[in-house]
Amino acid sequence: MTEATAGPLHAFLSGVGRDGRGRLAADVLGFPDKNLEAVHDYIQWLFPLPTRSAAQPHSPILTPAEIAAIRADPRAVDTLKAATGRMLCFYRDTRWWLSSHDHNHLRITRILHSLRLLVGPGEARAFHKAILALHAAAGAPVNPRSLHYWAEAAGGVGS
């Protein structure tokens, strides 16, 4: 960690730290869609949570100090907003996740939880609304359980 950061996730999101593979947040945000789909260890860094990831158990876990520091750091919040925009473009430009079951459904749940925790419920609701619009335009292929988890993660807004 460099500068005054509360931990590795705060450092990564503020643009001064690197993830477990040595990437900056800007590197990950520059991934082409095929990498966003195929690489499975970035989402825990871009959208961290205070719980261990079953898919990537070695990823860091948000601490209360990091949560407070990220919320108070405009650079980290800007990175989260940029990551949200990048993931929304990814979901708009790809269609394989628009199926009954897909690993991206778990990613969407994580994104919603992380946004609500670190940026606020408005950002989570906006992302949720955009994802539901893509889902509806595709003929509503996503399973009800994923839709329920998304609504819950976004703060209880309707699915």
- On whether residue 112 sits in a domain, the answer given is yes
Q: Determine what percent of the chain is predicted with pLDDT higher than 70.
A: 96
For residue 41, tell me if it sits in a domain. Answer: yes
The domain total for the chain is 1
Q: Is residue 119, in this structure, part of any structural domain at all?
A: yes
Q: Is 56 helix (H, G, I), strand (E, B) or coil?
A: coil
The span from the CA of 82 to the CA of 84, in Å, is 5
Q: What is the pTM of this model?
A: 0.94
Look-up: residue for tokens 């419920």? 121
pLDDT for position 3 = 66
Does 3 reside within a domain?
A: no
pLDDT value for 4:
83
What is the predicted pLDDT for the residue at 156?
A: 76
Nearest to 55 by CA among 71, 36, 41, 37: 41
pLDDT of the residue at 57: 86
Task: Specify the pLDDT at position 158.
Answer: 45
Is residue 23 in some structural domain?
yes
The boundaries of the domain holding residue 141 are 8-153
* In-domain check, residue 158: no
The list of the chain residues with pLDDT below 70 reads 1-3, 157-159
Q: Would 88 be classed as within a structural domain?
A: yes
Confirm whether 159 is domain-assigned.
no
How far is Cα 21 from Cα 41, in angstroms, rounded to an integer? 9
pLDDT of residue 1: 44
**Residue 106 contacts residue 55 (beta carbons within 8 Å):** yes
Q: Which amino acid is at 114?
A: S
